[in-house]
């Protein structure tokens, strides 16, 4: 299962939506090489379509001048046909985590190993810091990522594979239509730090909070004025979004 392949599939401009749903379902099963082999019945169940409809969508996806998938017939040891294999025709770098994330993961793994060695009282020299050139290269690669990919990557790094990727993607697009990447990330971190949420944070909850802020700051809805805790949270959110919070005091 590759969250990166799923992001790539969502970014493709495909009509009708049923065809795109089939591509996203294939990406859900794809490994880091873009290969998967779900049955047509499985794809039909995931996309709420008939098997014949899924079969037609697959034929269209693998045809044309720029096909999005490549089919491979598969057989059992006894020579009987089994489910077809599919290769996503996505760039190799889109099927794996970005380089800056892979380097960060490697450093975190090394840091964890060093801590375990310290717990066992094993003497080992700390890893040398990254050279300045490496840091500049990492920052440059991060800038090249789309704003959508940066926000999706932030959620993926916290929970792993995103089970409700489409809903999260829609929420990210809604937020980016109103705020910059930096302010969206600031709002995410703000919610993550709220103890009462107990870590239950996603881009859906960020969208909900921003929506509540936009309404309460205009005095349309919200709790009573004496609910100081709510208004304090809204005021802090407003500060992170670079705005002034003015709830209705009537």
Domain borders along the chain are 3-92, 99-144, 146-250
The confidence score (pLDDT) of residue 65 equals 86
pLDDT averaged over every residue in the chain: 79
Q: What is the pLDDT of residues 93-121, one digit of tens each?
A: 888 777 666 566 566 666 666 566 555 54
First to last CA, the chain: 52
* Bigger pLDDT: 219 vs 11: 11
Residue 220 CA to residue 215 CA, distance in Å, equals 6
Q: Which CATH class is domain 3-92?
A: mainly alpha
H or E segment to which residue 203 belongs: helix 203-216
Which runs of E-coded beta strand occur in the chain? 35-36, 69-72, 85-88
The owner of tokens 């969206």 is 184
Q: What is the pLDDT of residues 74-94, one digit of tens each?
A: 988 888 889 999 999 988 888
Q: Is the pTM of this model over 0.95?
A: no
Alpha-carbon dihedral angle through residues 174, 7, 192, 216, given to the nearest 10 degrees: 10
């Amino acid at each position: 299962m590759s969250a990166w392949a799923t992001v790539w599939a969502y970014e493709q401009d495909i009509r009708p939506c049923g065809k795109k749903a089939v591509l996203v379902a294939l990406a859900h099963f794809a490994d880091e090489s873009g290969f998967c082999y779900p049955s047509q019945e499985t794809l039909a169940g995931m996309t709420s379509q008939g098997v014949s409809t899924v079969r037609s969508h697959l034929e269209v996806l693998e045809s044309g001048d720029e096909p999005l998938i490549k089919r491979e017939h598969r057989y059992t040891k006894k020579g009987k046909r089994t489910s077809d294999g599919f290769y996503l025709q996505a760039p190799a770098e889109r099927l794996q985590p970005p380089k800056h994330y892979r380097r960060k993961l490697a450093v975190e793994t090394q840091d964890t190993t060093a801590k375990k060695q310290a717990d066992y009282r094993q003497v080992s020299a700390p890893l040398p810091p990254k050279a300045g050139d490496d840091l500049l290269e990492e920052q440059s690669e991060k800038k090249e990522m789309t704003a959508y990919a940066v926000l999706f990557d932030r959620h993926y790094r916290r929970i792993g594979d995103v089970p409700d990727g489409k809903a999260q993607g829609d929420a990210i697009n809604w937020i980016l239509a109103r705020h910059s990447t930096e302010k969206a990330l600031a709002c995410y971190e703000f919610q993550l730090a709220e103890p009462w949420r107990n870590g239950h944070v996603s881009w859906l909850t960020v969208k909900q909070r921003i929506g509540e802020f936009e309404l309460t700051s205009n005095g349309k809805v919200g709790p009573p004025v004496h609910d100081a805790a709510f208004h304090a949270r809204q005021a802090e959110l407003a500060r992170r979004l670079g705005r002034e919070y003015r709830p209705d005091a009537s």
